[in-house]
Amino acid sequence: MTRLLTPSPSDPAVAPTADQLRAQVGRLFGRSLYIRTVDTGSCAACESEIRLLAAPHYDLHRLGFFFTPAPRHADLLMVTGPGTTGMAHALRATHAAMPDPKVVVAVGACALGGVYRQADDLTHGGVTGLLPVDVLIPGCPPSPLALLQGLLVAVGRLAERIEPARFRIEGAEAP
Amino acid sequence: MARWFLRGLRRGVVTTRYPHRPDPEAARVPTPPAFDPARLTGALADQLVAVCPSGALERRGDTLVLDVGACTACQRCLPVAGAAGRPSGVFECAATDRDRLRVAIPIRGQHR
Ligand code: SF4
Ligand code: SF4
């Protein structure tokens, strides 16, 4: 029987591994997945690209993704911004309010710890230290296509395509 | 959904076929750089590290580490790199592990 409520991931003894979680989320919500977004101090460009996902050109609804304003209805949490200290509590509370199983996607260089590199009084230097992040989407901001790929990776419908060889130019003639 | 699609076709508006087909617009998206290890010298690597405003480049001995997670694809490193660099064209950068975004590029160039 499918268990709709998994043990809370905060209990390491019974928590599902990230891969199990993704497989479960893909099976349960592969074509009907609700997204809640939280902005932890982004410049709003990441948010704007996320909004574009619902525009006719990208139309993420055709892939079974929907936005919801209610954390209680959300299966996936998209977090932007460097994790400002003022938003840390709201972020954790949103995450806690979401039913299990849930997936966290960090969006943009800020959230990945790229722009504000160190934690200080104002930011946590990214959100990876605040929440268990399942999928990271680089970019400043990531294009809607990059976001789509990240969402599909999060539900196990696409494979990761990040390969070191793609950032090396091999086989060029010697200078 | 099909009705929307057909109406869109009639009016000349087509939703992207991604991920089932590549999206032609993807070519216009700024992407992180790719570097040529054979043209990358130690001195050039140091210049690249110095010019990157995001701290996405780091020199570790004979390796230049590109942190795709920190790179903002601003492309300020490309004029400095000259023939040793170009946009990678990789926009599908999602990863499930932060360390997978740190890409090692060997420094194999002998001189400039
Ligand atoms: S990653 Fe870039 S676009 Fe996104 S919030 Fe940070 S500065 Fe803005
Ligand atoms: S594109 Fe910009 S952020 Fe990325 S490595 Fe080059 S200089 Fe750094």
pTM of whole model > 0.95? no
pLDDT of residue B95: 92
A43 within a domain of the structure (yes/no)? yes
Q: Which two tokens stand for residue B15?
A: 């939703």
B7 within a domain of the structure (yes/no)? yes
pLDDT of residue A30: 62
**Distance (Å) from the C-alpha of residue B86 to the closest C-alpha of chain A?**
9
B59 within a domain of the structure (yes/no)? yes
Helix (H) or strand (E) holding A49: helix A45-52
> What are the helix and strand counts (H, E) for chain B?
3, 5
Q: How far is the CA of A112 from the centre of ligand 2 (A)?
A: 15
Residue of B nearest to A64 (CA): B1
Q: Which two tokens stand for residue A71?
A: 């954390």
pLDDT (tens digit per residue) in B46-90: 999 999 999 999 999 999 999 999 999 999 999 998 898 999 999
> What does residue B60 show for φ and ψ, rounded to 5 degrees?
-125, 90
pLDDT of residue B112: 46
B112 within a domain of the structure (yes/no)? no
Range(s) of the domain holding residue A123:
27-143
Whether ipTM tops 0.90, in short, is: no
* Number of other CB atoms surrounding residue A119 within 10 Å: 16
8-state DSSP, A41: S
Query: Are B53 and B21 contained in the same domain?
Result: no
pLDDT of residue A76: 93
How many CA atoms does the CB half-sphere of A103 hold within 13 Å?
30
Measured in whole angstroms, the distance separating CA A96 from the mean position of its chain's CA atoms is 16
CB–CB of A160 and B66 under 8 A?
Answer: no
pLDDT (tens digit per residue) in A104-158: 999 999 999 888 888 888 888 889 889 999 999 999 999 999 999 999 988 887 7
Q: Any idea what the CATH number is for the domain that residue B75 is in?
A: 3.30.70.3270
Q: Is A31 exposed, middle or buried (0-12, 13-18, 19+ CB in 10 A)?
A: exposed
A4 within a domain of the structure (yes/no)? no
CA-to-CA dists, residue A83 to A150, B56, B93, angstroms: 20, 19, 21
Torsion on CA atoms A132, A136, A142, A146, rounded to nearest 10: -130
Angle, in degrees to the nearest 10, between helices A45-52 and A144-154: 70
B14 within a domain of the structure (yes/no)? yes
Instruction: Check pocket membership of A115 for ligand 1, CB cut-off 6 A.
Output: yes
Of B66, B95, B109, the CB nearest to A136: B95
Interface of B with A in 23-52 (CB under 8 A): 23, 25-26, 29, 32-39
A15 within a domain of the structure (yes/no)? no
Query: Are B20 and B72 contained in the same domain?
Result: no
> Does A55 lie at the interface with B, CB-CB under 8 angstroms?
no
Instruction: Tell me which of B112 and B109 has the higher pLDDT.
Output: B109
Of A114, A137, A161, the CB nearest to B54: A114
A9 within a domain of the structure (yes/no)? no
pLDDT (tens digit per residue) in A134-143: 999 999 999 9
Range(s) of the domain holding residue B19:
1-26
B111 within a domain of the structure (yes/no)? no
Query: Are B39 and B11 contained in the same domain?
Result: no
- Coil, helix or strand for B41? coil
